[in-house]
Amino acid sequence: MELHNLTASELIEKLSLKQITPDEILFSLDKQIKRLESKIKAYVRLDGNKISTLPTISHLEGTSLKGIPVSVKDNICTDGYLTECCSKILSGFKPPYDATVIKKLKEAGARILEPKTNMDEFAFGSSTENSCFGPTYNPWDLGRVVGGSSGGSAAAVAADEAILALGSDTGGSIRQPASFCGVVGLKPTYGRVSRYGLIAFASSLDQIGPITKDVKDCALLMNTISGYDPCDSTSVDIEVPDFTKALIPDVKGIKIGIPNEYFVEGLDPQVKNVIEEAINKLKDLGAMCEQVSLPHTEYAVAVYYIIATAEASSNLARFDGVQYGYRSKSKISKKIESSSLIEMYKQTRAEGFGSEAKRRIILGTFVLSHGYYEAYYLRALKVRTLIKNDFDNVFRECDCIITPTSPTTAFKIGERIDDPLKMYLSDIYTISANLAGIPAISIPCGFDKYGLPVGLQILAKPFDEEMLFRVAYAYEQSTPWHKMKPKIIFEQ
């Protein structure tokens, strides 16, 4: 085993025993990245250079992530270092401040890698094919997608090219790539982790969260990034428990709800089998499983694509060639006439945004427009409340809910890129957690016949991440999946 093959908790132990140094970890990671990046392309702006880290501002003695490298998605701001959301329109953008999660990580002594991880442009997508830098390739099968939009982070963790990684999740962008890459991904409760410095996609749905090799690392990273932040008015002032204390391998008496609406047509039969085996495993461990109903599930995708695009169209209005990143060099802007500023905006946005971003801006503007606002946007908000009520009802009886993370395993590169509706359906099982604001985790639970990983999703009440950790840890500790790694890691 080399250092890059280890988990953060294993490295922390070795560091505390002074068996290794932080620079040795970085050296080992650098070697692995050099070996695999030409095939996987998990990072952007790597340029074949040695990986560098951002300056760590300060760290207290004994802080938990001291010396541990953390890889960061390209939509999380790092002071003075490129953060481009994998979009041409943000090319050259260096934020003048750190996101709160970055500040907290630096204070905990973590080493933030300067190259960021690849993503769908502005987090719009489910495959990481919508990146202006091109796709990331799945370490389990290079012909397949990594999921998205945090695909670079998930692939980096799966290929041992990252120790810990951060992603963001608006409708499944942490959990679905974690599932496709066979790693752990958590979307925290809305308000648990500060969004300050996360470049906004849909502000009422976005959350930053961990992508890690195992459940313990996920708890460690959550301990560092969680907590109230006055810079984010939607962050909630609630105590942050030590999540590692919830890592108890015992689910006896825990009540798990299995929603009927998630086991219907469209669910790949192999994924279904693997999930059913996982449920049986949890029963063997003493959990009590019962069928439940989330009756408004069928509206989740439609509601999401109204609310998320409405918010995105408004959030993206600021990219006009004046304040951030790219500006069109088109001659039009030189004309001295009243329309020239407007022309510059138009030209910049036409050249700077990719086609999925444009599709969402158009859709979002439409649903917010006079005459349609009530028919679409307002109605979607009402159905969102019904979806939230469904969860409240189930959580009166159950401690958590279990579902597949995604209806399929990783699909082939190019397979869905020209069919947005099919792509949108990749998130059918993950979107509801964002609409309801509840926490959800995806953990590896087996493989299909092509050797592709399957993810198990666990959902809990708002701010009950401890329940997720407990169930996930108990399952993980009694199964071998989290220890399995793609062959490419060991090939010469």
Least distance in angstroms from the C-beta of 324 to ligand GLN: 20
Q: Give the residue with the Cβ less far from ligand GLN, 257 or 364.
A: 364
Q: Give the residue with the Cβ less far from ligand GLN, 144 or 482.
A: 144
Catalytic residue among 41, 66, 73, 187: 73
CA 421 remoteness from chain centre:
21
Least distance in angstroms from the C-beta of 311 to ligand GLN: 11
Is 91 marked active-site? no
Residue 35: count other Cβ atoms within 10 Å of its Cβ. Answer: 18
Least distance in angstroms from the C-beta of 305 to ligand GLN: 7
Q: Give the residue with the Cβ less far from ligand GLN, 407 or 446.
A: 407
Is 103 marked active-site? no
Nearest residue to ligand GLN, scored by beta-carbon proximity? 173
Q: Give the residue with the Cβ less far from ligand GLN, 17 or 421.
A: 421
Least distance in angstroms from the C-beta of 215 to ligand GLN: 21
Is 9 marked active-site? no
Least distance in angstroms from the C-beta of 421 to ligand GLN: 12
Q: Give the residue with the Cβ less far from ligand GLN, 278 or 306.
A: 306
Angle between helices 269-284 and 465-477 (to 10 degrees): 90
Q: Give the residue with the Cβ less far from ligand GLN, 124 or 243.
A: 124
Contacts with ligand GLN by CB under 6 A lie at 123-126, 149, 169-173, 201, 308, 427
Least distance in angstroms from the C-beta of 297 to ligand GLN: 16
Q: Give the residue with the Cβ less far from ligand GLN, 356 or 476.
A: 356
Least distance in angstroms from the C-beta of 202 to ligand GLN: 8
Catalytic residue among 64, 71, 149, 226: 149
Catalytic residue among 64, 150, 173, 313: 173
> Which active-site residues does the annotation give?
73, 149, 173
